[in-house]
Structure 1
Amino acid sequence: MDLRKWLPPGSPPAITGVAIAFYYSSSTPNAYSSIEYINNQVPNGWLIRSLHNIAGNGLIAVSLVQILVQPMRRERNFSRFWLPLLWKIMLV
Protein backbone atom coordinates (compact mmCIF):
# COMPACT_ATOMS: atom_id res chain seq x y z
CA MET A 1 0.00 0.00 0.00
CA ASP A 2 1.47 3.32 -1.08
CA LEU A 3 0.92 5.95 1.61
CA ARG A 4 1.93 8.80 -0.72
CA LYS A 5 -1.22 8.11 -2.72
CA TRP A 6 -3.51 8.25 0.30
CA LEU A 7 -1.71 10.79 2.46
CA PRO A 8 -0.23 13.75 0.54
CA PRO A 9 2.42 15.86 2.34
CA GLY A 10 0.00 18.60 3.38
CA SER A 11 -2.55 16.24 4.91
CA PRO A 12 -1.36 15.97 8.54
CA PRO A 13 -1.37 19.76 9.16
CA ALA A 14 -4.72 20.04 7.40
CA ILE A 15 -6.32 17.19 9.36
CA THR A 16 -5.10 18.47 12.72
CA GLY A 17 -6.03 22.02 11.72
CA VAL A 18 -9.62 20.96 11.08
CA ALA A 19 -9.70 19.17 14.44
CA ILE A 20 -8.43 22.32 16.19
CA ALA A 21 -10.88 24.55 14.28
CA PHE A 22 -13.83 22.87 15.99
CA TYR A 23 -12.78 24.32 19.35
CA TYR A 24 -10.68 27.40 18.54
CA SER A 25 -12.13 30.92 18.71
CA SER A 26 -10.10 33.59 16.93
CA SER A 27 -11.72 36.58 18.58
CA THR A 28 -9.32 38.75 20.58
CA PRO A 29 -10.78 38.21 24.06
CA ASN A 30 -11.36 34.46 23.59
CA ALA A 31 -8.26 33.27 21.68
CA TYR A 32 -6.05 32.44 24.65
CA SER A 33 -8.88 30.88 26.64
CA SER A 34 -9.82 28.68 23.69
CA ILE A 35 -6.22 27.44 23.44
CA GLU A 36 -6.26 26.68 27.17
CA TYR A 37 -9.56 24.87 26.68
CA ILE A 38 -8.09 22.78 23.84
CA ASN A 39 -5.03 21.89 25.93
CA ASN A 40 -6.81 21.10 29.18
CA GLN A 41 -10.41 20.09 28.46
CA VAL A 42 -10.52 18.52 24.99
CA PRO A 43 -9.53 14.84 25.08
CA ASN A 44 -5.98 14.63 23.70
CA GLY A 45 -6.14 18.29 22.72
CA TRP A 46 -2.54 18.83 23.74
CA LEU A 47 -1.55 15.98 21.42
CA ILE A 48 -3.52 17.40 18.49
CA ARG A 49 -1.91 20.81 18.95
CA SER A 50 1.56 19.28 19.20
CA LEU A 51 1.03 17.18 16.09
CA HIS A 52 -0.25 20.25 14.26
CA ASN A 53 2.84 22.21 15.27
CA ILE A 54 5.27 19.44 14.31
CA ALA A 55 3.52 18.65 11.02
CA GLY A 56 3.36 22.31 9.99
CA ASN A 57 7.02 22.95 10.80
CA GLY A 58 8.01 19.71 9.09
CA LEU A 59 6.11 20.68 5.96
CA ILE A 60 7.94 24.01 5.85
CA ALA A 61 11.32 22.34 6.41
CA VAL A 62 10.74 19.75 3.68
CA SER A 63 9.59 22.47 1.28
CA LEU A 64 12.71 24.56 1.93
CA VAL A 65 14.98 21.56 1.44
CA GLN A 66 13.21 20.74 -1.80
CA ILE A 67 13.58 24.33 -3.01
CA LEU A 68 17.32 24.20 -2.38
CA VAL A 69 18.04 20.65 -3.57
CA GLN A 70 15.94 20.51 -6.72
CA PRO A 71 17.95 23.09 -8.72
CA MET A 72 21.19 21.33 -7.77
CA ARG A 73 19.96 18.18 -9.51
CA ARG A 74 19.31 20.07 -12.74
CA GLU A 75 22.55 21.99 -13.02
CA ARG A 76 25.63 21.03 -11.13
CA ASN A 77 27.50 24.23 -11.85
CA PHE A 78 28.11 26.12 -8.61
CA SER A 79 28.59 29.50 -10.22
CA ARG A 80 25.36 29.36 -12.23
CA PHE A 81 23.04 28.61 -9.30
CA TRP A 82 24.60 29.21 -5.89
CA LEU A 83 26.55 32.42 -6.51
CA PRO A 84 23.51 34.38 -7.79
CA LEU A 85 21.43 32.94 -4.94
CA LEU A 86 24.01 34.00 -2.34
CA TRP A 87 24.24 37.44 -3.97
CA LYS A 88 20.45 37.88 -3.75
CA ILE A 89 20.45 36.80 -0.10
CA MET A 90 23.19 39.32 0.68
CA LEU A 91 21.24 42.09 -1.04
CA VAL A 92 18.16 41.39 1.01
Structure 2
Amino acid sequence: MHDLTSLLHSLHRPRLLIRAARIAAEEYRRDPHLARVLGAPTPGHRGAALLQLLEIEGLMDERRKARDGAYSVARHVETLAAVIGEARLMARPEDRLT
Protein backbone atom coordinates (compact mmCIF):
# COMPACT_ATOMS: atom_id res chain seq x y z
CA MET A 1 0.00 0.00 0.00
CA HIS A 2 2.92 2.33 0.63
CA ASP A 3 3.83 2.31 -3.07
CA LEU A 4 0.24 3.05 -4.04
CA THR A 5 0.16 5.94 -1.57
CA SER A 6 3.32 7.40 -3.10
CA LEU A 7 1.85 7.00 -6.56
CA LEU A 8 -1.34 8.77 -5.53
CA HIS A 9 0.58 11.67 -4.00
CA SER A 10 2.62 12.06 -7.19
CA LEU A 11 -0.47 12.76 -9.31
CA HIS A 12 -0.71 16.40 -10.39
CA ARG A 13 -3.95 17.38 -12.06
CA PRO A 14 -5.78 20.70 -12.54
CA ARG A 15 -7.43 21.92 -9.35
CA LEU A 16 -10.88 22.11 -10.88
CA LEU A 17 -10.65 18.49 -12.04
CA ILE A 18 -9.58 17.30 -8.58
CA ARG A 19 -12.21 19.41 -6.86
CA ALA A 20 -14.98 17.94 -9.01
CA ALA A 21 -13.65 14.42 -8.40
CA ARG A 22 -13.56 14.95 -4.62
CA ILE A 23 -17.18 16.07 -4.65
CA ALA A 24 -18.15 13.06 -6.79
CA ALA A 25 -16.18 10.73 -4.50
CA GLU A 26 -18.50 11.61 -1.61
CA GLU A 27 -21.16 9.46 -3.30
CA TYR A 28 -18.74 6.66 -4.27
CA ARG A 29 -20.17 3.14 -4.06
CA ARG A 30 -17.61 0.53 -5.02
CA ASP A 31 -19.56 -2.06 -7.01
CA PRO A 32 -21.59 0.16 -9.35
CA HIS A 33 -18.86 2.75 -9.88
CA LEU A 34 -16.05 0.27 -10.54
CA ALA A 35 -18.19 -1.77 -12.91
CA ARG A 36 -18.97 1.37 -14.90
CA VAL A 37 -15.42 2.78 -14.95
CA LEU A 38 -13.58 -0.51 -15.47
CA GLY A 39 -16.19 -2.03 -17.75
CA ALA A 40 -15.69 -5.33 -15.93
CA PRO A 41 -16.72 -7.01 -12.68
CA THR A 42 -15.30 -5.49 -9.51
CA PRO A 43 -11.87 -6.94 -8.64
CA GLY A 44 -11.80 -8.54 -5.21
CA HIS A 45 -8.59 -6.88 -4.08
CA ARG A 46 -8.71 -3.13 -3.58
CA GLY A 47 -5.10 -2.62 -4.62
CA ALA A 48 -5.72 -4.32 -7.96
CA ALA A 49 -8.73 -2.10 -8.62
CA LEU A 50 -6.76 1.01 -7.72
CA LEU A 51 -3.92 0.05 -10.07
CA GLN A 52 -6.39 -0.48 -12.92
CA LEU A 53 -8.03 2.86 -12.19
CA LEU A 54 -4.69 4.65 -12.15
CA GLU A 55 -3.78 3.15 -15.51
CA ILE A 56 -7.09 4.28 -17.03
CA GLU A 57 -6.75 7.72 -15.46
CA GLY A 58 -3.20 8.10 -16.82
CA LEU A 59 -4.45 7.44 -20.34
CA MET A 60 -7.23 9.99 -19.84
CA ASP A 61 -4.75 12.58 -18.63
CA GLU A 62 -2.60 12.00 -21.72
CA ARG A 63 -5.69 12.61 -23.88
CA ARG A 64 -6.48 15.75 -21.89
CA LYS A 65 -2.99 17.14 -22.38
CA ALA A 66 -3.02 16.27 -26.08
CA ARG A 67 -6.43 17.97 -26.47
CA ASP A 68 -7.73 14.77 -28.01
CA GLY A 69 -11.29 15.03 -29.31
CA ALA A 70 -12.13 11.69 -27.67
CA TYR A 71 -11.34 13.10 -24.21
CA SER A 72 -14.31 13.32 -21.86
CA VAL A 73 -14.07 15.54 -18.78
CA ALA A 74 -17.07 13.79 -17.23
CA ARG A 75 -15.46 10.38 -17.63
CA HIS A 76 -12.18 11.70 -16.23
CA VAL A 77 -13.96 13.09 -13.17
CA GLU A 78 -15.79 9.79 -12.70
CA THR A 79 -12.50 7.88 -12.92
CA LEU A 80 -10.70 10.20 -10.50
CA ALA A 81 -13.64 9.94 -8.10
CA ALA A 82 -13.25 6.15 -8.20
CA VAL A 83 -9.50 6.53 -7.53
CA ILE A 84 -10.24 8.75 -4.54
CA GLY A 85 -13.00 6.42 -3.31
CA GLU A 86 -10.77 3.35 -3.55
CA ALA A 87 -7.92 5.16 -1.80
CA ARG A 88 -10.26 6.13 1.03
CA LEU A 89 -11.49 2.55 1.36
CA MET A 90 -7.91 1.26 1.48
CA ALA A 91 -7.03 3.75 4.19
CA ARG A 92 -9.69 2.34 6.53
CA PRO A 93 -7.99 -0.01 9.03
CA GLU A 94 -10.72 -2.66 8.87
CA ASP A 95 -10.37 -2.92 5.08
CA ARG A 96 -6.62 -3.40 4.94
CA LEU A 97 -6.97 -7.13 5.44
CA THR A 98 -8.96 -7.64 2.22
TM range (shorter): 0.3 to 0.5
Task: State the TM-score, normalizing by the size of structure 1.
Answer: 0.40
Highest Rg: 1 or 2? 1
TM-score normalised per structure 2: 0.38
RCO higher in structure (CA 8 A, sep ≥6): 2
